[in-house]
Amino acid sequence: MREKFRLTEVWCKIALLFLFSAFYVLALPFPEKSRQFPQLLALVSFALTAIALVLDFTRRSAVQAEFSDVDNTELAVLDGATKRVRRKRYYRAWAIVIVSTGVGILGGFFFSALFLIGGFSVLFGNRENVKRNTLAGAAIMLGVYIVFGKLMGVPLLSGLLW
Amino acid sequence: MDVVLQAIGFVFQWQTLAALAAGTVYGIIIGLLPGLGPSAGMALALPLVIKWDPAMALIFMGSLYKCSTYGGSITAILVNTPGDASNAATVLDGHPMCQQGRGGVALGLSATSAMVGGTIGMICLIFAAPMLAEFALKFGPAEYFLTAMLALSIISAVVQGATIKGLIAAGLGLLLSTVGFDVITGHLRYTFDWTPLEDGVPLIQALVGLFAVTQALVLAESAASISRLARLAGGFWEGVAIYFRHPVVFLRAAAIGLFVGVLPAVGQSSAGLLAWADAKRSSKHPEKFGDGSPEGVLASETATSACMPGDLVCTIALGIPGSLGAAIFLGVMIVFGVAPGPLAFTEKADVIYSLFVALILTSFVIFVIGMTVARRLAVITLLPNDIIVPLILVISLLGSFAIRNEMSDVIISVVFGALGYVMLKGGFTPIPLLLGLVLGEMVETNYHRALLISGGSYTIFHASVISQVLIALTVLSLAGPYLGSYWRTLTQGEK
């Protein structure tokens, strides 16, 4: 049972159950015609998610029982190491996206783009590639400036600070 | 006839030709990059063309959608990696040909297939779509509601082989479409007093988030570049000559592609594989298939190219997307104010026929590009992920920002990017969610209209023969995945 709660899919479905419940409850104060459709959808989606969750628990038990005598220790170690590396890269990527969005809100999208390019160069690139990444970053920024800033007239420097 | 002549005149203006060429090149580049299919490509490009004339923007998007499939065949042949699941069958013979020093021949075959398959498909589309649209004039609100339900159930059932998960995602999409002003009462729903949501969840920003941002995050997880290029040898024109020496094979493949394309939600990947299997079965040398047979490449690529116009038949005439890419294209059409359905052929005839003419022309442009610069374009797959990822993020988020010059749009895209990523990791695909979001308003409006007509009675939803057929098809589409292996063979494998 504990193993099943480690699965992203299971947590995703539990989160969806809460989300659909929230859609149903939040619609209660709406006028009847406004709440009818979203509440109907929320109910059906809730029921489907609950069924999927129950199936997850019953089906996975059957599959695990089939493979219970297979020794996969080595594979599990390799899999774990790969997962850790990927997770680290994923967290970094998200950190860059969130920080750059924040910077964009403050100083304008130009700085957001700068943070995205710089962030990925520093946190994802190798030291040997500094020159290449800097050149690529400069080329992207130049392209952004010409296409969006000059041709499309997008205010790249419009933020909360100025 | 006048409309067609006007459309031809419009397409041959230099601005339209430039848009067509740009969409073609961009589509091929997107197709070259494994992981970036037509969905992400259209999501990335949409903010850039949002202020264009609708006909020109749809031509750009249509060319992009059409050419991304061809782009995928180049990597399938050169680097043994299909750019999209639709090119999966091309790998079987295309890459072995490349390894045997006949990569140029294989590329010539795929470029010719794109031209011939695409042209045959488009000619059939031009005749079939208006007929289907005329039939759709018999539809009332209940039938439209059921048609949307059918589209959602088909996409949910076949998109990943897990019907319940697909339906859950579609339900979430429909629920998200209820955010903002209620079309019936004008009441604000689920906005939490946040102004950017008052007009509903913005479709383009959501699309950018769900496909471009999510895809960038998936790519960010792995290091290195997408591929290494293989050695290229053999004549391109030899491929063209071989192609026209097999008229029966390419005509059969085009017919299979068209048929599979017209079936709602059955993807291009199935078309290529079915045509490959058919060519092998009818060949005098079936043993050569899978070992570098030119017939294998031409059958799979012709079917895939003919499939895309087939996809568009139901998308344009009925609003039922024929595939995942078509689902996005449906969203693009709505964004540009071209509502799919029978009225599109009267109210927006100029746009629709310009799109058709342009897509025929695109088939020839693909051929020219394929025969000249395809090899050079494939170099893009050597770009490392630490350059591709920020490039995708900057273009997509900036595109999202450029629509209203509001950072709130970037936030919406990032939130949808997170949602798409979590869904992917949780075993869900975001396609039904997007379709729910696109069709949500139409579903709710027609639901209320039908009940208004019937005085609140639900019998209206099964009163007509068309409604009964639509209900039967919906049930069949939901039960289909449980019917056996044939269904799985037919529908599996879209990216």
Report the pLDDT value the prediction gives residue B218, as an integer from 0 to 100.
82
Chain B residue nearest residue A122, CA to CA: B386
Which residue in this structure is represented by tokens 């094979």?
Answer: B249
Q: Average pLDDT of B100-105?
A: 78
**Do A50 and A79 reside in the same domain of the chain?**
no
Q: Which residues from chain A sit within 8 angstroms of residue B190, using beta carbons?
A: 23, 26-27, 38
Report the pLDDT value the prediction gives residue B368, as an integer from 0 to 100.
86
Report the pLDDT value the prediction gives residue B173, as an integer from 0 to 100.
92
**Do A47 and A93 reside in the same domain of the chain?**
no
- Name every residue whose Cβ is closer than 8 Å to that of residue B354 and which is 6 or more positions away in sequence: B7, B10, B11, B16, B55, B58, B59
> Distance, in angstroms, between A8 CA and closest chain B CA?
5
For CA atoms B118, B156, B147, B412, the dihedral sign is: negative
3-state secondary structure of B296: helix
- Name every residue whose Cβ is closer than 8 Å to that of residue B191 and which is 6 or more positions away in sequence: B179, B180, B197, B198
B33: left (phi over 0), alpha (psi -120 to 50) or beta: beta
Amino acid at residue number B28: I
> Distance, in angstroms, between B284 CA and closest chain A CA?
43
Report the pLDDT value the prediction gives residue B494, as an integer from 0 to 100.
40
**End position of a domain, from candidates A23, A45, A70:** A70
Residue B225 exposed, middle or buried by CB count within 10 Å (0-12, 13-18, 19+): middle
Report the pLDDT value the prediction gives residue A66, as an integer from 0 to 100.
56
Read off the pLDDT of residues B63-85 as tens digits, 9 standing for 90 and up: 888 888 788 788 777 766 666 66
Alpha helix ranges (H) inside B383-429? 385-404, 407-425
- Do A89 and B174 lie within an 8 Å CB cutoff? no
Query: CA B445 from chain center: how many Å?
Result: 26
**Do A109 and A66 reside in the same domain of the chain?**
no
Read off the pLDDT of residues B288-313 as tens digits, 9 standing for 90 and up: 887 788 888 888 888 888 888 877 87
Q: Which residues from chain A sit within 8 angstroms of residue B223, using beta carbons?
A: 89, 124
**Do A8 and A82 reside in the same domain of the chain?**
no
Q: Which residues pair with B225 in a beta bridge?
A: B384
Q: Average pLDDT of B374-399?
A: 73
- Do B187 and A86 lie within an 8 Å CB cutoff? no
**Do A161 and A108 reside in the same domain of the chain?**
yes
**Interface with A, mutate which of B386, B414, B437 (most A CBs under 10 A):** B386
Given a cut of 70, whether residue A81 has pLDDT beyond it is: yes
Report the pLDDT value the prediction gives residue B416, as an integer from 0 to 100.
92
Report the pLDDT value the prediction gives residue A6, as an integer from 0 to 100.
66
**Do A1 and A14 reside in the same domain of the chain?**
yes
**End position of a domain, from candidates A27, A47, A70:** A70
| φ/ψ of residue B142, rounded to 5 | -65, -40
Residue B449 exposed, middle or buried by CB count within 10 Å (0-12, 13-18, 19+): middle
DSSP string covering B89-129: HHHHHHHHHHHTT-HHHHHHHHHHHHHHHHHHHHHHHHHHH
Distance CA(B184)–CA(B169), nearest Å, equals: 24
**Do A64 and A78 reside in the same domain of the chain?**
no
Sequence-separated contacts (24+) of B472-475 with Cβ below 8 Å: B473/B150, B474/B146, B474/B149, B474/B150, B474/B153
Q: Average pLDDT of B268-283?
A: 75
**Do A77 and A54 reside in the same domain of the chain?**
no
- C-alpha to C-alpha distances, B205 to B312, B335, B369, B475, nearest whole angstrom: 24, 11, 32, 33
**Do A48 and A127 reside in the same domain of the chain?**
no
Read off the pLDDT of residues B227-258 as tens digits, 9 standing for 90 and up: 444 555 567 788 888 888 888 888 888 888 88
**Do A48 and A85 reside in the same domain of the chain?**
no
Q: What is the ipTM of this complex?
A: 0.85
**Do A27 and A107 reside in the same domain of the chain?**
no
Report the pLDDT value the prediction gives residue B232, as an integer from 0 to 100.
55
Q: Average pLDDT of A81-110?
A: 85
- C-alpha to C-alpha distances, B103 to B97, B99, B243, B445, B457, nearest whole angstrom: 6, 7, 15, 53, 63
Say what the pTM is. Answer: 0.74
Report the pLDDT value the prediction gives residue B379, as an integer from 0 to 100.
62
A52 in contact with B, Cβ within 8 Å:
yes
Q: Which residues from chain A sit within 8 angstroms of residue B418, using beta carbons?
A: 94
- Do B164 and A152 lie within an 8 Å CB cutoff? no
* Mean pLDDT value across chain B: 80
Distance CA(B335)–CA(B61), nearest Å, equals: 12
Half-sphere exposure in the Cβ direction for B375 (13 Å, CA): 16
The encoded tokens of residue A105 equal 């809100």
More confident call, A50 vs B279: A50
What is the span of the domain harbouring residue A49?
1-70
- Do A11 and B171 lie within an 8 Å CB cutoff? no
* Partner residue facing B405 (CB), from A19, A41, A154: A154
Q: Average pLDDT of B262-288?
A: 72
- Name every residue whose Cβ is closer than 8 Å to that of residue A50 and which is 6 or more positions away in sequence: A17
- Name every residue whose Cβ is closer than 8 Å to that of residue B50 and which is 6 or more positions away in sequence: B57, B204, B335, B402, B403
Report the pLDDT value the prediction gives residue A2, as an integer from 0 to 100.
63
Report the pLDDT value the prediction gives residue B495, as an integer from 0 to 100.
38
- Do A154 and B401 lie within an 8 Å CB cutoff? yes
Amino acid at residue number B52: W
Q: Are B216 and B222 in contact (CB under 8 A)?
A: no
B161: left (phi over 0), alpha (psi -120 to 50) or beta: left
Q: Average pLDDT of B445-456?
A: 88
Which residue in this structure is represented by tokens 């002549």?
Answer: B5
Q: How many domains does chain A have?
A: 2
Q: Which residues from chain A sit within 8 angstroms of residue B395, using beta carbons?
A: 144
- How many residues appear in chain A? 162
**Do A20 and A80 reside in the same domain of the chain?**
no
Cα end-to-end distance, chain A, whole Å:
54
Angle, CA B493 vertex, CA B119 and CA A93 arms, to 5°:
105
**End position of a domain, from candidates A22, A46, A70:** A70
